[in-house]
Structure 1
Amino acid sequence: MTFTGTRRAALGLLAGAAAASARAQAPARGEVFIVSTLYARHQGVPAYDLQVLRRLIEAVRPQALVLDVTPTELRTRRVWPGKVEYTGVIFPYLDATGVPAHASEPDEPLFAELTGAVGQAYKAFGERQPAGAKALDDMKQGAYRAMAASWASAADVHSDRTDGLVAALREFEEGLVGAEARRVQEQWDRHHAARLRAAVAAHPGQRVLMLVGIESRYRVLAELRAAGDVEPVAMEAWLRRAGI
């Protein structure tokens, strides 16, 4: 081998070693799972009841959890009564495993600011259009009953079709109630996404599982796609492979 060839080979070995070192020093890329919860509706959806949710969490084997509760709710383990999955599944899971958990709902005073603003928006809508408010509620209840009847598995709950239906319902609802309802919900869901990013950064290379209400999941996914910094697991395909 000529001197030039020898030098080239040596440089190639050095470059390869440097690349291997860089790969070794780079943090391993973990997996991020974003899972819908149904709150009290879990009790009326056999395909995605609390036992199925428990199976899903155990199948993921998360190393960190991001939960749609406030920091105070996470600390005190006292949540809004409709969040039956927390008392029935998630808090017992935390106690049994010791997995670290992060809250993704806003703390005070932002929590009161946002819930107060959206509460006023819905109150004004109800006073302005009482028949419309009742019709909207009836439509939502009927739509969720129809979706529940179509779900044969947790994978169906996390399908593109379900996300599309939920998004359409939300857009219709926010269009009726008014711009303030949309503004608050978008800010709320951006907060969810920001807390997820913070948790992923705090647990590099680990499996992070976010549990978020079904009406927020599609916007959290959209926020992450727009930012491009976190790439969640495709839940429908993952759940079908897992048989859940």
Structure 2
Amino acid sequence: MMAAASAAATQALANPPGDVFVISTLYARHRTVPAYGLAALQRLIDAVKPEVLVLDVTPTELRDRKVWPGKVEYTEVIFPYLDATGAPAFGSEPDGALFTELTGAAGQAYKAFGERNPAGAKALDELKQATYRAMAAGWASAADVNSAKTDQLVAAMRELEEGLVGGAAARVQQQWDQHHADRLRDVVRAHPGKRVLMLVGIESRHRVLRNLQSAGEVRIVDTEAWLRRAGL
């Protein structure tokens, strides 16, 4: 009994209630990145033991369990986890008219960029693919994917992309990522003292974290350090 109590106390100390974890997902790349495959994501979620989840799907997608086909982690890992545990979950992507507005504006911006600068559009796509291959070659763990170094690389890539595509694309992405951060804050306020796990696309994580840190009202776990201590 004392051993069990000690183990429980150790787990609580390592993973106290009220902490918020913001974790990157890779969508279809989970199938091709050995260090951060679907099994690794499952181990990470099991280790965090979230009491509440915030997910980068729309509330409608979460309710209907139908997501964009590239988000393989949802059908393979996350939805089964929710079914098995009954943990409450909330979608943080814009929904309804706002979703249509933002995705439409982004689509128009990228279409216009491709038409006015086809060579630049091709070069940007090649750069992104090469950057992800290079990052994947250097990733040895989930901690590497969720590291400050990775965030810096992705942030630089996003800055270059938004600069090339134009102001409309940058504004849409900033509004999209702010929406993620705002929804997470709403969930934390509504579930005081609960351990919350946010899963968000890797290209949004750095800006979501910056938005949360600037507000200063959410206790964000240093995910990279926590994952390294956990051996993940």
> Which band: TM-score by shorter chain?
over 0.9
- Residue 203 of structure 1 deviates from its aligned partner by 1.1
CA–CA separation in structure 2 for the residues paired with 1:159 and 1:58:
19
1:201 maps to which residue?
189
- Structure 2 stretches lacking a partner, 5+ long: 1-15
Distance in 1, matches of 2:85 and 2:146, equals 25
State the SS of the aligned residue for 2:96. Answer: coil
Paired with 1:49 and 1:109, the residues of 2 have a C-alpha distance of 34
Measured after TM superposition, the shift of residue 90 of structure 1 is 0.1
Rounded to whole Å, the distance in 2 between the matches of 1:96 and 1:204 is: 23
Aligned-pair identity (%): 73
Aligned residue in 2 for 1:75: 63
How many angstroms apart in 1 are the aligned matches of 2:21 and 2:179? Answer: 17
- Structure 1 length normalisation: TM-score? 0.88
- Taking the aligned partners of 1:37 and 1:102, their CA distance within structure 2 comes to 16
Q: Which residue matches 2:90?
A: 102
Q: Name the counterpart of 2:43.
A: 55
Amino acid in structure 2 at the alignment position of 1:140 = K
Partner of 1:211: 199
In structure 2, the residue corresponding to 1:62 is in which secondary structure?
A: coil
Aligned match for 1:233, one of 221, 224, 231:
221
TM-score, normalised relative to structure 2 = 0.92
Alignment of structure 1 residues 33-182 onto 2, 5 Å: 33-182=21-170
Measured on the aligned residues, the alpha-carbon RMSD in Å equals 0.9
The CA distance in 1 between the partners of 2:61 and 2:155, in whole Å, is: 27
The count of residues paired between Structure 1 and Structure 2 equals 217
Q: Give the CA deviation at 1:60.
A: 0.4
Larger radius of gyration: 1
Contact 1:224 1:231 in 2 (8 A): no
Structure 1 residues 129-155: Cα deviation after superposition (integer angstroms, max 9, x where no partner): 011101100000000000000000000
Amino acid of the structure 1 residue aligned with 2:222? A
* In 2, Cα distance between equivalents of 1:49 and 1:29: 27
In structure 2, the residue corresponding to 1:109 is in which secondary structure?
helix
Query: Corresponding residue for 1:21?
Result: none
| Counterpart-to-counterpart distance in 1, 2:193 and 2:142 | 26
Code of the residue aligned with 1:111 in structure 2: it is: F
**Post-superposition shift, 1:213?**
0.2
| C-alpha deviation, 1:29, in angstroms | 6.3
Q: Secondary structure at the match of 2:90?
A: strand
Shift of 1:202: 1.2
The unaligned stretches of length 5 or more in structure 1 are: 1-27
The residue type equivalent to 1:202 in the other structure is A
- Structure 2 equivalent of residue 8 of structure 1: none
